[in-house]
Amino acid sequence: MALLAYSPGSIDWPYLDKDSAARLWVELGTWVEWLRNRYELSHRIPLCWFKHGPVAED
């Protein structure tokens, strides 16, 4: 069985080049803002997040 060469995915941060990482940081920031607004989060995700309706999908 031949081993396949490792090919990093889009979220394999240590293997991204500078431009790819910069683009992904923008995408990640956009998603984090959506997450914070959608689930009414302030600056951190509470440890008991799964017990709260606004945080857990029904």
Average model confidence (pLDDT) for the chain?
A: 77
Helix, coil or strand: residue 29? helix
pLDDT in tens, 42-58: 777 777 777 776 655 55
Question: How much of the chain is in helix, strand and coil states, percent to nearest 5?
Answer: 45, 0, 55
CA 40, CA 33: separation in Å to the nearest integer?
Answer: 10
Average pLDDT of 25-51?
A: 80
Predicted pLDDT at 19: 93
What is the separation, in whole angstroms, between the first and last Cα of the chain? 45
Predicted pLDDT at 33: 86
Q: Give me the residue spans of the domains in the chain.
A: 17-51
